[in-house]
Amino acid sequence: MASIHTNEVLIDCQSVWKIFGDKAPAAMEAVAKRGLSKKQILQQYNCVVGVSDASLQVHRGEIFCIMGLSGSGKSTLIRLLNRLIAPSFGKVLVKGRDLSALDATELRQMRAQNIGMVFQSVALLPHRTVLENAAFGLEVQGIAKAERNRTAQAALEKVGLGDWLNRYPAELSGGMQQRVGLARAIASDPEIILMDEPFSALDPLIRRQLQDEFRQLTKELGKSAVFITHDLDEAIRIGDRIAIMKDGVIIQVGTAEDIVLNPADQYVADFVAGISRLHLIKAHSVMVPVADYQRQHPGSDIGTLARTSPEADIDELIGLAMQSDRDAVAVLDSGTVVGIVTARSLLAGVKGTPIGEQAAAA
Ligand SMILES: Nc1ncnc2c1ncn2[C@@H]1O[C@H](COP(=O)(O)OP(=O)(O)OP(=O)(O)O)[C@@H](O)[C@H]1O
- Bridge partners (DSSP) of residue 140 are none
Does residue 288 register a pLDDT over 80? yes
ipTM computed for the complex = 0.97
Q: How confident is the model at residue 1 (pLDDT cuts 50, 70, 90)?
A: very low
Q: Whose CA is nearest to atom 12 of ligand 1?
A: 50
Q: Quick check: CB of 73 below 6 Å from ligand 1?
A: yes
The alpha carbon of 227 and the centre of ligand 1 are apart by a number of angstroms equal to 16
Does residue 354 register a pLDDT over 50? yes
The alpha carbon of 199 and the centre of ligand 1 are apart by a number of angstroms equal to 19
DSSP state of 288: B
Burial 242-273 (b: 16+ CB within 10 A, else e): bbbbbbbbbbbbbbbbbbbbbbeeeebeebbe
Domain boundaries, the chain: 283-361
Distance in angstroms (rounded) separating the CA atoms of residues 239 and 38? 29
The pLDDT score that the predictor gives to residue 361 is: 45
Q: Quick check: CB of 50 below 6 Å from ligand 1?
A: yes
Q: Are 74 and 230 in contact (CB under 8 A)?
A: yes
Q: Whose CA is nearest to atom 30 of ligand 1?
A: 71
The alpha carbon of 350 and the centre of ligand 1 are apart by a number of angstroms equal to 36
Q: Quick check: CB of 345 below 6 Å from ligand 1?
A: no
Give the CATH number of domain 283-361. 3.90.1280.20
Q: Whose CA is nearest to atom 17 of ligand 1?
A: 75
The alpha carbon of 255 and the centre of ligand 1 are apart by a number of angstroms equal to 25
The alpha carbon of 92 and the centre of ligand 1 are apart by a number of angstroms equal to 19
Distance in angstroms (rounded) separating the CA atoms of residues 195 and 75? 10
- Name the residue of 42, 47, 74 whose CB sits within 8 Å of the most ligand 1 atoms, as the mutation to test its pocket: 74
What percentage of the chain carries pLDDT values higher than 90?
52
pLDDT tens by residue, 38-78 = 899 999 999 999 999 999 999 999 999 999 999 999 999 99
Burial 308-346 (b: 16+ CB within 10 A, else e): beeebbbebbbebbeeeebebbbbeeeeebbbbbbebbb
- Name the residue of 75, 79, 85 whose CB sits within 8 Å of the most ligand 1 atoms, as the mutation to test its pocket: 75
Mean pLDDT of the 214-227 span? 90
Pairing state of beta strands 9-20 and 48-59? antiparallel
Tell me the pTM: 0.83
pLDDT tens by residue, 297-327 = 888 888 889 999 999 998 899 889 888 878 8
